[in-house]
C-alpha cells in the first residue's frame, strides 16, 4: 500500500509540473500515511516536483520532523503538518507557486465565478493568507495558515502561492489545477475590463454539485497522468473504461 502511495505522490508531482505548478525546486506535496495519522510522505527539498521518485520521498511526523529518508526536508513543512493536525479529513496537501494564482493575489480582488473552475472557490470559499508574504517556516505560521484555511479546500498565500487540500491525492491535485485555471480565467477577464457576467445563485450551486465528485477527481488525475506519459515519454496509454457516479449528463 505504501509503495503505491509513494508512486502516486511521484505521479502527482509530474502532472502538477505539467499544469504550471512547477517552480524550479520550490513547491511540495504530501500525503498522510494510512493507519498513522501522525506521519506523512513528502517531497524532499532540492529537487523539482516532477523529480520525485518512490525512493527519494521522505517521511515526516506531525511535528515537522523528518523520520525517514536520505534527502533534506523543506523548511515549509509546517504548512503540511499544521493543516493535517487541524483537519483530520485532509489526506493530501499541496503548496505550489502557479504563475496566474500568484499574479491574481496581487490584485486584492475576490475570485468570482467567471467559468466552471472558478465556481468551486467563489462566494468566500477562497481565503487569502496575508499575515506575511514570506515563507512559512515555523509551527506558529503553519498554524496560522491552517486557521485561515478553515474548512475550505484551498487558500492563496498573498504574493507567494497556493495551498490546496483533499481527502485523496487525486482530489488535492484536482483542487490545485482548478484553482490555477480559475485565476487564469479571471486575469483574462480583468485584462478586458473586468468580469461583468458571472455564475451565481442556484445556477452556481448546481454547477458545484455536478462538478465536484470523487469519480471526477480520479478520472481527471488519470487523464493528466496519461497526458504526461504521452508528452514526456512518447507513451500512448489507452483510456480505461470509466465508471461515474452519475450515468447521464456527463461532461
Task: Quick: pLDDT tens for 73-91.
Answer: 999 999 999 999 999 999 9
Task: Quick: pLDDT tens for 169-208.
Answer: 999 999 999 999 999 999 999 999 999 999 999 999 998 8
Q: Is there a contact between 55 and 71 (Cβ–Cβ < 8 Å)?
A: no
The rounded distance, in Å, linking the Cα atoms of 218 and 174 is 9
Helix (H) or strand (E) holding 148: helix 139-149
Residue 248 pLDDT level (bands cut at 50, 70, 90)? very low
What region does 134 belong to: left with phi over 0, alpha with psi -120 to 50, or beta? beta
Q: Copy the grid coordinates of residue 241.
A: 473504461
Chain-wide mean pLDDT for the chain? 94
Lowest mean pLDDT of 32-41, 87-96, 231-240, name the range: 231-240
Number of continuous H segments (helices) and E segments (strands) in the chain: 7, 8
Note the pLDDT of residue 137: 98
Amino acid at each position: 500500500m505504501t509503495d503505491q502511495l509513494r508512486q502516486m505522490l511521484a505521479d502527482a508531482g509530474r502532472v502538477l509540473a505539467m499544469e504550471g505548478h512547477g517552480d524550479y525546486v520550490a513547491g511540495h506535496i504530501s500525503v498522510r500515511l494510512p493507519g498513522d495519522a501522525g506521519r506523512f510522505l513528502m517531497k524532499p527539498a532540492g529537487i523539482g516536483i516532477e523529480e520525485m521518485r518512490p525512493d527519494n520521498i521522505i517521511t515526516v511526523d506531525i511535528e515537522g520532523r523528518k523520520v525517514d529518508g536520505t534527502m533534506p526536508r523543506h523548511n515549509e513543512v509546517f504548512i503540511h503538518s499544521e493543516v493535517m493536525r487541524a483537519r483530520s479529513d485532509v489526506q493530501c496537501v499541496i503548496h505550489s507557486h502557479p504563475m496566474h494564482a500568484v499574479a491574481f493575489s496581487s490584485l486584492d480582488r475576490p475570485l468570482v465565478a467567471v467559468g466552471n473552475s472558478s465556481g468551486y472557490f467563489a462566494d468566500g470559499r477562497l481565503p487569502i493568507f496575508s499575515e506575511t508574504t514570506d515563507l512559512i517556516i515555523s509551527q506558529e505560521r503553519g498554524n496560522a495558515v491552517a486557521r485561515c484555511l478553515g474548512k475550505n479546500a484551498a487558500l492563496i498565500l498573498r504574493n507567494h502561492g497556493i495551498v490546496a487540500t483533499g481527502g485523496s491525492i487525486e482530489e488535492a491535485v484536482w483542487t490545485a489545477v482548478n484553482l490555477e485555471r480559475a485565476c487564469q480565467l479571471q486575469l483574462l477577464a480583468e485584462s478586458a475590463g473586468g468580469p461583468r457576467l458571472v455564475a451565481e445563485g442556484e445556477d452556481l450551486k448546481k454547477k458545484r454539485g455536478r462538478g465536484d465528485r470523487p469519480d471526477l477527481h480520479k478520472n481527471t488525475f488519470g487523464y493528466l497522468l496519461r497526458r504526461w506519459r504521452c508528452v514526456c515519454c512518447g507513451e500512448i496509454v489507452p483510456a480505461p473504461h470509466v465508471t461515474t457516479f452519475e450515468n447521464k449528463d456527463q461532461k
